[in-house]
Amino acid sequence: MSEAAEGFNPEYDPTGIEGGLDTNLLPWIEVPGTDGIHMKTVRASMESGMFSIILKFEEGKALPPSVFLGGLDILILSGQVTYEEGGKTSTLTPGTWGYISANTKVSEIAATQETEILANVFNAVTFLNADNSVASILTAMDVNQLAKQHGVSMVPSSLADCAKQRPEAYQGEPAPLAIATRNAKDLVDGEPSGESSAFAHPNFIDSRQVPWIINPDLPEIGLKILRVSEETGVISLIVKHKGVANPHTHIGAADFLVLSGSIGYRAGPPEGYGAGMWFYEPAGARHESTQSLTDEPLIYTANVYGPLVFDSGRGTPVEAVLSWVEYTALAEGGGAKLVPNTSPEETSLLAWAPLKG
């Protein structure tokens, strides 16, 4: 085992969050090329071009026409937006989860009230002018530079970097998320929104309408399986967690945002970490006893970017492997309708915004 892998263990860091941060402590940074839209910068990969952010739309403000070159997934945390694409409009309310596939042109995302959105952006975003010419491009490098300018230490992207001493955390005024001031379990575990029937786009779903599925091998964990990619192996989930998770190793990376409850994580504090904590598990990370610490279930979002291997402890035989194959079977067996991975419209940025001489 590598030195980095040996270092990434429960005893390494007394805070227990080598690959995590409390988004409630981060500042809102203006998104370049927009008006009235800000972001909390969480992670930006210089290798893949992916970045994870939390967006805040001021009431009445809108994202300009955009092409998402690598796609993205979103979860509405608070507020309400209208989403316009392909001449259709969907109203997205708290608990709405969606996947916007690569090269999709979105005419507008407009906030009818102040809104916060978790977004995992898989590559650059191109903002367009009214004539469809390119106005600007937002990349992982831009997010990285903006974070540095504002004194934000984002989450590292590799096992080796997670095992190193982290730079000093942001020292400015905290800006808590809306979900940090209330029990946000109703985002995914309450009654479906009356707006859910208004989705004009198949790539959105009210997460409260997705059934909880129990894997017999992990009876204390409920899963809402939202998307499974056979091409990339990425799985998007909502997880409800009671008790202690079996020891496991991440063959691929994973990230998650705590919505409610409290997670006991490595060598963290006895009270654990609550709503607004964002974690990134780099490929190769291992967990022995991740657990829920409160009477109410721990609920969090999760993107899993590769298989999980479960055992009974270091050096013991593999007991189970969870990859996209197993998640697909669980979804089919539990009656979950997965969000599609592609859009019926096949095009490219040059088709939307041809270069001009």
Backbone angles phi, psi at 351, to 5 degrees: -70, -40
Which range among 2-16, 27-41, 241-255 shows the weakest confidence by mean pLDDT? 2-16
CB 142 within 8 A of CB 32: yes
Average pLDDT over residues 187-215: 83
| pLDDT tens readout for residues 52-68 | 999 999 999 999 999 99
Q: Whole-prediction pTM value?
A: 0.91
Q: Is residue 315 part of a domain?
A: yes
Domain termination site, one of 153, 182, 211: 182
pLDDT at 255 over 50: yes
Torsion of CA 292, 294, 299, 305, to 10 degrees: -20
Considering the domain architecture, whether residues 28 and 156 belong to the same structural domain is answered as yes
Considering the domain architecture, whether residues 39 and 160 belong to the same structural domain is answered as yes
Q: Is residue 352 part of a domain?
A: no
Q: Containing domain of residue 75, as a range? A: 21-182
**What DSSP line would sit under 233-266, residue for residue?**
--EEEEEEE-SBPPPEEESS-EEEEEEES-EE-T
Number of structural domains found in the chain: 2
| 113: number of Cβ within 10 Å | 12
CATH number at residue 104: 2.60.120.10
Considering the domain architecture, whether residues 154 and 229 belong to the same structural domain is answered as no
Q: Is residue 339 part of a domain?
A: no
Tokens 């985002």 belong to which residue?
A: 187
Considering the domain architecture, whether residues 167 and 227 belong to the same structural domain is answered as no
Considering the domain architecture, whether residues 29 and 52 belong to the same structural domain is answered as yes
Residue type, 27: P
| 182: number of Cβ within 10 Å | 12
**What DSSP line would sit under 149-196, residue for residue?**
HTT--PPPSSHHHHTSPPPPPP-S-----GGGGS-TTHHHHSPPPGGG
**Closest C-alpha to 254, from 320, 292, 207, 309:** 309
Three-state DSSP state, 145: helix
In angstroms, rounded to a whole number, what is the distance separating the alpha carbons of residues 302 and 349? 29
Alpha carbons within 13 A on the beta-carbon side of 315: 0
Predicted local confidence at residue 1, as pLDDT:
37
Average pLDDT over residues 126-138: 93
Considering the domain architecture, whether residues 177 and 195 belong to the same structural domain is answered as no
Predicted local confidence at residue 165, as pLDDT:
78
CB 137 within 8 A of CB 127: yes
Residue type, 299: I
In angstroms, rounded to a whole number, what is the distance separating the alpha carbons of residues 56 and 114? 7
Q: Is residue 221 part of a domain?
A: yes
Alpha carbons within 13 A on the beta-carbon side of 201: 26
Considering the domain architecture, whether residues 162 and 56 belong to the same structural domain is answered as yes
DSSP 148: H
Average pLDDT over residues 232-253: 89
